[in-house]
Amino acid sequence: MTGDHERSARLFGAAEAILDELETPLTPADEEFQAQWVELARSGLDETAWKEAFGEGRAMPLADAVEYALAARLEAGGKTA
């Protein structure tokens, strides 16, 4: 997480949509890990902003979500490969 709470909310929304589409539940350990990061992301947004950004992420096509996630990594100075 880079501190961009809206981007995080969108990515959590996109991830949830992908898992739902694949009918792949998280393990209890993964749920606990994710819950910690979701709580951190939510702490930087009010409820309306969270729901809006999360919904935008859920609506993203897979290719757009991947591109969006990689763009965040590049903006933070990371490498994609």
Does any domain span residue 68?
yes
Whether the pLDDT of residue 33 is over 80: the answer is: yes
Q: Is residue 9 part of a domain?
A: yes
Q: What is the pLDDT of residue 59?
A: 98
Tell me which residue range forms the domain holding 60: 5-75
- For residue 51, pLDDT over 60 is answered with yes
Whole-prediction pTM value?
0.82
Residue 1: pLDDT above 60?
Answer: no
* Residue 57 included in any domain: yes
Domain count, the chain: 1
Whole-angstrom Cα distance, residue 81 to residue 79?
A: 6
Structural domain contains residue 29: yes
Place of tokens 């997480």: 1
Confidence grade of residue 72 (pLDDT, cut at 50, 70, 90): confident
Lookup: tokens for 30: 């993964």
